[in-house]
Amino acid sequence: MIPLIACDDIWKIYRIGDVEVQALRGLSVTIEQGEFVAIMGASGSGKSTLMNILGCLDQPTKGQYQLGGVEVGRLQPDQLAEIRNQKIGFVFQSFNLIARTSALENAQLPLFYRGLSLKKQRALASAALERVGLSGREHHTPTQLSGGQQQRVAIARALVTSPSLLLADEPTGNLDTQSSHEIMTILEGLNRDGITIILVTHEVDIAAHAAREIVIKDGQILSDRATQGRSQ
């Protein structure tokens, strides 16, 4: 079977004036559909850079990245956007919700861009909110929700288009322990339903929710192993 993700000798080099930063240095990794992977590593090791490339938000300077057998490096910006919209959901540390806008409307947004009818948008967004345990909070705005609840809205928004890949860059970074574990329980459930999840975290006990842990150091893979926490 074709792996969902196949990175071969990926380099990402940022140049700012005369300064060159090699954020990724010849990184190769394969991730199959249905995996739950945690990415760890020190600040500045290249985790977010890798996530941005995996999510087609950015392209490698050198090397090949195939997503579902398609060479991403050869795609035009509009084709990249199409892949992002069809296949990938994103969750970030800072939730990135729209202020003064209800949970339901936040979750609807990706569907609005797809041009679905308002009725269909509401039905799907409401189901996604239910999925993350937020029934009854549809009309709350971000300031009327706790941090954990705001992150659940962000997950609902990422889910509403039924992506096959969910990328989460430190989704529990701003949350207390209890909310963090609630978020991880939701991600585990989504993964059991077949969504591939790649999660960046600094915390060992958060990474233990994943089945595989990859440690990055200086833009290269330092270790790649099955975790003890959960067997699949």
Ligand X SMILES: Nc1ncnc2c1ncn2[C@@H]1O[C@H](COP(=O)(O)OP(=O)(O)OP(=O)(O)O)[C@@H](O)[C@H]1O
| Site for ligand X, rule CB under 6 A | 14, 16, 21, 23, 41, 43-49
CB of 95 to ligand X, least distance (A): 16
**Partner from ligand X, Mg ion, none contacting 14, C-beta within 5 to 8 A by type:** ligand X
39 torsion bin: left (phi>0), alpha (psi -120 to 50), beta (else): beta
Q: Please report how close the Cβ of residue 188 comes to ligand X at its closest, in angstroms.
A: 23
Nearer to Mg ion, 48 or 151 (CB): 48
Give the pair of three-digit tokens for residue 68.
């579902």
Q: Near Mg ion by CB under 5 A, which window of 47-55, 94-102, 127-135, 212-220?
A: 47-55
- Work out how close the CB of 232 gets to ligand X at its nearest, in angstroms, rounded to a whole number: 26
The residue among 14 and 112 lying less far from ligand X, judged by its C-beta, is 14
For residue 139, with 0-12 CB atoms within 10 Å meaning exposed, 13-18 middle and 19 or more buried, which class applies?
Answer: exposed
Q: Does 48 bind Mg ion (CB under 5 A)?
A: yes
Cβ atoms of 195 and 164 closer than 8 Å: yes
Beginning with the edge strand found earlier in the chain, give each strand of the sheet holding 19-31 in spatial order: 19-31, 5-16, 62-67, 70-71
The Cα angle at residue 168 between residues 5 and 203, in degrees rounded to 5? 110
Nearer to ligand X, 31 or 215 (CB): 215
Q: Based on the shown chain and the rule CB under 5 A, indicate whether residue 49 belongs to the binding site for Mg ion.
A: no
Please choose which of Mg ion, ligand X, none residue 106 contacts, taking the beta carbon within 5 to 8 angstroms, the exact cut-off set by kind.
Answer: none
**CB 128, min distance to Mg ion, A:** 26
The one of ligand X, Mg ion, none whose footprint includes residue 46, by CB under 5 to 8 A per kind, is ligand X
* DSSP tally for the chain: helices H, then strands E: 7, 10
Strand partners, 64: 8
